[in-house]
Amino acid sequence: AQVFYAESETGPAPIVGAIGQLQFDVMLFRLENEYGAPCRFEPVGYRYPRWVTGTPTAIEQAASARGRLRLYDTKGNPLLLFENEWALRLAQENERDLEFHDVAP
């Protein structure tokens, strides 16, 4: 699992990324039972992450399109989450000022 942060009016909002429901279940159990920290997870509806490099303006413009969510990893690297493969492919074809990476650059 990995923690990312979305911009919000109240400050950075943590979003946990994981592969498979089991990782979320284990994390939830450990937070509640080992650390006494009540928590809940809510799905965000995005499945395809890509780190992006480019100008801040190009990243902001790309993030504003429908079906995309801009996040930052713990090192401050921007990434976009996409709802589906089609949205990802469309961004890769149309956002010529950005480079897309499967892992953090």
Helix (H) or strand (E) holding 25: helix 21-33
Per-residue pLDDT of 1-54, as tens digits, reads 789 998 876 778 888 998 888 999 999 999 999 999 998 888 888 989 999 999
CA 80 to chain centre: 6
- What is the CATH number assigned to the segment(s) 2-15+45-101? 3.30.70.3280
Judge whether 49 and 17 are in contact, CB under 8 Å.
yes
Per-residue pLDDT of 86-96, as tens digits, reads 999 999 999 99
Per-residue pLDDT of 58-80, as tens digits, reads 999 999 999 999 999 999 999 99
